Amino acid sequence: MRALVKSRAAPGLWMETRPIPEPGPDDVLIRVRKTGICGTDIHIWNWDDWAQRTVPVGLITGHEFAGEIVGLGRNVTGLEIGQRCSGEGHLIGKDSRQSRSGRFHLDPATRGIGVNEPGAFADYLRLPAFNVVPLPDAIPDEIGAILDPLGNAVHTALSFDLIGEDVLVTGAGPIGIMAAAVARHAGARHVVITDVNPDRLALAGKVADVVPVNVATEDLASVKARLKLAQGFDIGLEMSGNPAAFDQMVEALVMGGRIAMLGIPPGKTQVDWSRIVFKALTIKGIYGREIFETWYKMIAMLENGLKIAPVITHRFAADDFGTGFQTMRGGSSGKVVLDWG
């Protein structure tokens, strides 16, 4: 089979021929149809410090996918050959307190497909049946291929009650844009999304009924005045990992405001904790998806009118992966999807 591999300790990925994996007794074999390129995949391509510490050379990469079940382990029940699916890419342990209490997304033994274990940038993927998420007919493969990042957006956005609230999203990358769309779908009154990239802000306006703001040219204070937000925003969704954006969010929130943080700041950063304390802010860190509550909620929202298709801006054949990565690395695209046939 074709497989996109981190073949050597250098920038790039390489297409190789690898054996089709054999499913174990509790696994399924999936014929991959579509995959999404993630920011994590860009880190692996660039071979930055994180990737060098984390990703073994020779690994098949990729973790955003949709496909079709073509093989079942002997212990697998409840799934069928030919069934369309996506899947949770976090492979959990079973012995921790978190797992044993059902909080699977917090298991400290978690390993990721395409990061620690063989991934989905291939014609076939072996996955534990526990991790398989069947796709309803209403969700096409290319949307199924980006349920992983949509799940990050849903987990972040639904951390707090959104009905009637005014929401500030910092970072108009694809996940930030999807989080803004989720916030509007879930009942937020005003949703403002900030960035300094005009292409990404324009895309945000196409995906959802939100207010895109370029903070390089417009101050958030004027936006609050225009929307008649006397005190500020009730909820912040920090998706950028930019310390300046976080500082802007702290200043823009009401007393007692709530922040969900998915963006990862670069290393250690300075934070004005006294400002956070005196404003009585609540901050929640977000990692991945709640397994499997986030999956249930996002599939239900997609079936009930949540529209995210415009966030996919580019589609390439898998053999043209280099162009796909170049497009994603350019910083102006939305989601990039690879077609594996």
pLDDT 10s digits, 174-193 = 999 999 999 999 999 999 99
Query: What is the CATH T-level fold of the domain 2-146+308-339, as seen in this structure?
Result: Quinone Oxidoreductase; Chain A, domain 1 (3.90.180)
**Which amino acid is residue 150, in one-letter code?**
L
Task: Output the average pLDDT for the chain.
Answer: 97
Query: What per-residue confidence (pLDDT) applies to 266?
Result: 85
Are 35 and 337 in contact, with CB atoms under 8 Å apart? yes
Are 68 and 31 in contact, with CB atoms under 8 Å apart? yes
49 three-class SS: helix
Query: What per-residue confidence (pLDDT) applies to 60?
Result: 98
Angle ∠(131,137,140) on CA atoms, nearest 5: 80
pLDDT in tens, 56-95: 999 999 999 999 999 999 999 999 999 999 999 999 999 9
Q: Which of 17, 35, 43, 110 is catalytic?
A: 43
The CATH number, out of the four listed (3.30.540.10, 3.30.420.40, 3.40.50.720, 3.90.580.10), of the domain defined by the range 153-285: 3.40.50.720
Domain-by-domain residue ranges, the chain? 2-146+308-339, 153-285
Tokens 């297409």 map to which residue? Answer: 15
Antiparallel, parallel or unpaired: β 253-261 and 233-238: parallel
Are 183 and 234 in contact, with CB atoms under 8 Å apart? no
224 three-class SS: helix
Tokens 């991790």 map to which residue? Answer: 131
Q: For residues 63 and 153, what is the distance between their CA atoms, to the nearest angstrom?
A: 16
For the question of residue 105 being annotated catalytic, the response is: no
Tokens 């895109």 map to which residue? Answer: 212
Q: 49: how many CB neighbours lie within 10 A of its CB?
A: 10
CA distances from 43 to 9, 48, 114, 220 (A): 13, 6, 12, 31
For the question of residue 155 being annotated catalytic, the response is: no
pLDDT in tens, 143-155: 999 999 999 999 9
Query: What per-residue confidence (pLDDT) applies to 70?
Result: 98
Q: Which of 17, 35, 40, 63 is catalytic?
A: 40
